[in-house]
Amino acid sequence: MFDESYLIDLIKDNTPYTDVDYADDVSIDLVHIPLIEPMIRVGHLGIMRQFPQDLNADGYTELDNQEVLHTAIQMLCLREDLATVRSTIKKAYTGKSPFPNDSNFSSLVFLEASVIAKTNNKIWWSEIIGLLMPQVA
């Protein structure tokens, strides 16, 4: 696992966006919030098995079913800017690892994305990324 600040710093350092922070469990008022620049929010969602359908009682076999940390990157921006914002942020995290000196850990990868909410001119987008966490003894 890694601290969410790693991803926040990665986005700030590799994109032009400065309104990047931890995600809150509160809703965003899409209608009334003024958007000067895209808002980016980062937060872990949980850990799942790489192959959730293959749970084993055998601990040795289970070592092959690695854990995947799921983290959301939420983007609130103008609808017309979504493609650019998403592409810029994806470039910032793709292939990066919070454990660059440890070849036993994988890099951040895209898992899925979806719309949380939208208005006539704004969109709240959530990109779920994953980090495979090999079980190293």
Range of the domain at 50: 4-133
Give the closest residue to 42 by CA, choosing from 19, 8, 17, 10: 8
Beta bridge partners, 125, equal 75, 115
pLDDT for 1: 82
pLDDT for 130: 92
Question: Please, are residues 16 and 97 in contact by the beta-carbon 8 Å criterion?
Answer: no
Q: Measure the CA–CA gap between 135 and 65, rounded to whole angstroms.
A: 9
Question: Please, are residues 99 and 69 in contact by the beta-carbon 8 Å criterion?
Answer: no
pLDDT in tens, the chain (137 residues): 889 999 999 999 999 999 999 998 777 777 788 888 999 999 999 887 666 555 555 555 555 557 789 999 999 999 999 999 999 999 999 988 888 776 556 789 999 999 999 999 999 999 999 987 755 43
pLDDT for 84: 98
Please report, for the domain that includes residue 78, its CATH number. Answer: 3.30.2000.10
Tell me the torsion sign for CA atoms 82, 85, 86, 87: positive
* Predicted TM-score of the model (pTM): 0.82
Counted domains in the chain = 1
Question: Please, are residues 17 and 40 in contact by the beta-carbon 8 Å criterion?
Answer: yes
